[in-house]
Amino acid sequence: MEYLIHEPTVKTEKKKALILMHGVGSNDKDLFSLVDYLPKDYYVICPQGHFAMGGGRYAWYNVDFSTGKPVYNIQQEKESRELIRQFVGEMKAKYHLDEVYLGGFSQGGIMSYTVGLSDPKLVKGIIILSSRILEEVKPVLVKQAPELQVFVSHGTADGTLGIHYAREAKEFLEGMHVQLSYHEYGMGHQINQQVLEDLNKWLAAQQ
């Protein structure tokens, strides 16, 4: 899988990484542009979606909106899920990482939910930015993940993935007994300065 990487400028005893995945129709440069706003003691690794949409746009799986209701390609989602799981393992081995936080925006967050909640020992935590848990993947998720750290941010004015998706996920996550940090903001389908500040505080508290 293609990816961009920014190495930490502050060295610490533990080697830690943020693996951040873009939303549908974007690419690896999207969340990589946030490097200056993320902790200096982390590797920041941004992989690119496996499925090309043309014009430098990529997805983790294709979504068909022709019926008025989104229908996602379940085979592509499964394929990306396995590729991401392998990618995390490869990054751990290549950069000798002690802790990995897997995260993403929108579709990248959907993949983070699925990988993190189906294999919670793979990562220290997941970072979910304006996203949702797919109903179709719930059968493969573990029943409980009490050690998994989870950061969730969502805009109350999100017109792409409504706030109800975040609130439903919150209830589901509480049932799994994860270590949850849940945040709502008066914003749309986006990442704003307050999200980044809260994310940085959350990561600092993980020491």
50 close to 44: Cβ distance less than 8 angstroms: no
Say what the pLDDT of residue 207 is. Answer: 66
Looking at residue 9, its pLDDT comes to 97
pLDDT of residue 64: 82
Please, is 25 exposed, middle or buried when counting C-beta atoms within 10 Å of its C-beta (0-12, 13-18, 19+)? middle
CATH number where 152 lies: 3.40.50.1820
DSSP letters, 102-121, are EEEETHHHHHHHHHHHHSGG
User: How many structural domains is the chain composed of?
Assistant: 1
Could you give the CA distance from residue 36 to residue 163 in angstroms, rounded to a whole number? 28
* Domain coverage including residue 142: 3-204
Name the residue type at position 70. P
Side-chain-side CA neighbours of residue 60 (13 Å): 26
**Can you tell me whether residue 6 is helix, strand or coil?**
strand
Q: Cα 62–67–69 angle (5° rounding)? A: 70
Per-residue pLDDT of the chain (207 residues; tens, 9 = 90+): 999 999 999 999 999 999 999 999 999 999 999 999 999 999 999 999 999 999 999 999 998 877 777 788 889 999 999 999 999 999 999 999 999 999 999 999 999 999 999 999 999 999 999 999 999 999 999 999 999 999 999 999 999 999 999 999 999 999 999 999 999 999 999 999 999 999 999 999 996
Residue type, 2: E
CA distances from 90 to 7, 83, 86, 94, 104 (A): 16, 10, 6, 6, 18
pTM of the prediction?
A: 0.96
Phi and psi dihedrals of 98, rounded to 5?
-90, -35
Cβ contacts of residue 133 below 8 Å, gap of 6+?
110, 113, 114, 117, 141, 165, 168, 169, 172
